[in-house]
Copies of this chain bind each other. A is one copy, B any other.
Amino acid sequence: MTEGVSRPTLEAVAARAGVSRATVSRVVNGGDGVREPLAERVRQAVAELGYVPNQAARSLVTKRHDAVAVVIAEPETRVFTDPFFALQLRGISKELTAHDNQLVLLLTEGRDDHARVARYLAGGHVDGALVFSLHLDDPLPGLIHDAGVPTVFGGRPHWGDQVAGSTRPTGEDPGVVYVDCDNRGGARAAVRHLVGLGRTRVAHLTGALDQTSAVDRLDGYRDVMAEVPGGNDPRLVVESDFTPAGGERAMRGLLDRCPDVDAVFAANDLTALGALRVLRASGRRVPEDVAVIGFDDMLPVAMEADPPLTTVRQEIEEMGRLMARLLLRGLAGGRDRTGTTVASAPAGGVILPTTLIRRASA
């Protein structure tokens, strides 16, 4: 661990090139309005001295940081057993990098961290925030909103959508920007596929219902089942929690109450995995006796399952990219001279499509 000596400043470059600081600054920041021979001399000096601008000094005057925070609020362990966030991060990172922005990662483990994050965001260290908050009762979105930082949410946030039955939730804050996948549409496609297979007793193992994704998938299931004769048997819906253990539990309960079930739509791949195991243990064959579909296309789980899982894929990385792009666009487009951000990002949500991936389980 060695420390370099103090780095050259604009001043030093200016001296070396025999110009003023302002000229160097111009060249370094794009070089408009500097004649070529001079600009070249400056670039020379920059290269020779290995000059790198001091970001702190720059931010101090520009009030820009070229940095955005990624806030992941997840007290549960799910984040860390699921490549979901890793993929989102990759997408975000790629997009940010392409626009010379840095990614400041803020992980929160619970209530205590919320204050810290809110303070950081309110402190104006970053130009904007990308926020993941999966739980309906999470105060973080509100805190962040109050912090007044331009924000894009990952996954539909909960505000004011008590009416779970509507396609576009009522009371949605028009100023809130978010990116999500088409949970409801994906669920519909899955259940339709099952019904199309001729299955008549199609069950649903839900996700944790304090997350909008779980609610939306349940809604999608109901959309289709409402049109199927005998499809609204409430016993076919079992609440679970997105985990394999939860999937097992739910599947066992389901088998008890509805031994005649011939298809299962699980809220995610992990849940499907648990269901698969219980089905196997019960002597049922998949997909012959019971067809199973998951959600996420979480690799390697889906592909390595036995049998390989038919599932609804969401383009996770693309969601990340999109979030970053929306935020950056908002930042670039915004800000009139009073410092107020001009509305330029699309308000409301952007929903990415899902695709049904057919493998062996359904």
Q: Which residues of B contact A113 (CB under 8 A)?
A: 97
A90 at the interface (CB under 8 A from B): yes
Q: Which residues of B contact A105 (CB under 8 A)?
A: 70, 89, 93, 103-105
A37 at the interface (CB under 8 A from B): no
Assess the A52–B119 pair: CB atoms within 8 A: yes
Quote the shortest CB–CB distance from A254 to chain B (angstroms): 19
Roughly how many angstroms separate A334 CA and B221 CA in the complex, as a whole number?
A: 60
A163 at the interface (CB under 8 A from B): no
Assess the B104–A244 pair: CB atoms within 8 A: no
Pick from B7, B86, B109, B122: contact of A80, CB below 8 A: B86
Smallest Cβ-Cβ distance to A347: which chain B residue:
B1
12 contacts between A and B (CB under 8 A): A2-B148, A2-B341, A4-B147, A7-B124, A52-B123, A52-B124, A53-B123, A56-B60, A86-B86, A104-B105, A244-B300, A273-B300
Assess the A299–B81 pair: CB atoms within 8 A: yes
A residues at B contact (CB < 8 Å): 1-7, 50, 52-57, 59-60, 65, 67, 70, 79-83, 85-87, 89-90, 93-94, 97, 102-107, 109, 113, 116, 119-120, 122-125, 128, 147-152, 175, 177, 244, 270, 273-274, 277, 299-301, 303-304, 306, 330, 334-335, 339-341, 343, 345
Assess the A277–B301 pair: CB atoms within 8 A: no
* Copies of chain A in the complex: 2
Roughly how many angstroms separate A147 CA and B81 CA in the complex, as a whole number?
A: 34
Roughly how many angstroms separate A343 CA and B148 CA in the complex, as a whole number?
A: 43
Roughly how many angstroms separate A270 CA and B301 CA in the complex, as a whole number?
A: 10
Roughly how many angstroms separate A107 CA and B103 CA in the complex, as a whole number?
A: 9
Q: Which residues of B contact A80 (CB under 8 A)?
A: 83, 86-87, 90
Known: A304-B273, A306-B306, A339-B6. A330 touches B86 (CB 8 A): no
Roughly how many angstroms separate A142 CA and B62 CA in the complex, as a whole number?
A: 34
